[in-house]
Amino acid sequence: MKISASASTPSGEDLRTRDAVARSILENGPSTAVALGERLALTPAGIRRHLDLLVGDGILEAKEPRTSIVRGRGRPSKVFVMTDYGRQNFEHSYDDLAVAALKFMSAQSGGQLVSAFAQSRAEDMERKGSAAIAKRSHKSEALATFLSEQGYAASVVARPMGEEICQHHCPIAHVAAEFPQLCEAETEVFSRLLGTHVQRLATIANGDGVCTTFIPSATTSTKSNATRKVRA
């Protein structure tokens, strides 16, 4: 991403640091000033200065943490997230023409052509993803690597009942905001590639800071299937 210079940040070094701060949030998701400072080896004063400038330019936004576990005294630290304007400064594979084309298709077919396009795109992703994860034993890690190669800046986070794939960037966020069929078809692909039910918890297209997909552990999935059979 290229962040424009301003009177307060004229040096190339400052611009490179600001770019690193913004990219760190894009790739790692919403972050506190402390986490960013540690990740980028910046002083508290230094990271605050760059964050203030990025917020002032509309690249980042400071928000209250969605879930806060307060340890000790004091309020939980705010997290910094990428704004839509900030995302537009990074490389995207969508443009206004794509949205206009899908709107035209929806108007002509009542949404059927859009759904068909979403499925076609998902099938192409599935073909490429199948080849990418075929030789890897840890499928969720392999899927995250594949998604990162496709521009999604994905990572895997361990959870008590399974794992989450976090996509910190979405190349089609603005298109998917207009046409959620794209996200729905993508989620179905994840399920087929991983061979288990998955649950989409959050999406960038819906205004969240990161796309999050929960993958239950094999034990949890087996128990869930057994429960459904007993109830049936």
In order, the DSSP letters of 145-197 are: HHHHHTT--EEEEEETTEEEEEES--TTHHHHHH-THHHHHHHHHHHHHHTS-
3-class DSSP assignment, residue 198: coil
Q: What is the domain partition of the chain in residue ranges?
A: 12-88, 96-231
Q: In Å, how far are 31, 73, 109, 179 from 184, measured between CA atoms?
A: 27, 42, 19, 10
Instruction: Provide the pLDDT for residue 223.
Output: 47
Q: Does domain 96-231 have CATH number 1.10.150?
A: no
Query: What CATH number labels 12-88?
Result: 1.10.10.10
pLDDT tens string 62-102? 988 765 444 445 566 889 998 878 877 665 544 567 888 88
**Region 146-167 average pLDDT:** 91
Percent of the chain at pLDDT exceeding 70: 81
- Tokens read off for 1: 């991403």
pLDDT band at 175 (very low <50, low <70, confident <90, very high): confident
Pairing of strands 162-167, 199-202: unpaired
Question: What pLDDT is stored for residue 219 in this prediction?
Answer: 54
Average pLDDT (200-220) is: 86
d(CA 172, CA 26): 15
Of 21-30, 117-126, 192-201, 213-222, least confident by mean pLDDT is: 213-222
Strand partners, 215: 163
211: three-class secondary structure by DSSP: strand
Q: How far apart are CA 50 and CA 18, in angstroms?
A: 6
Distance, in Å, from the CA atom of 175 to the CA atom of 97, rounded to the nearest integer, reads 10
Question: How many Å apart are CA 52 and CA 33, to the nearest integer?
Answer: 11
Domains 12-88 and 96-231 share a fold: no
CA distance 19 to 68: 28
- Nearest Cα neighbor of 50 from 27, 76, 79, 16 is 16
State the pTM of this model. 0.62
> How is residue 178 written in tokens?
């207009």
Return the structure tokens found at 3: 């962040």
Q: Which two tokens stand for residue 85?
A: 């304007």
Q: What is the pLDDT of residue 9?
A: 38
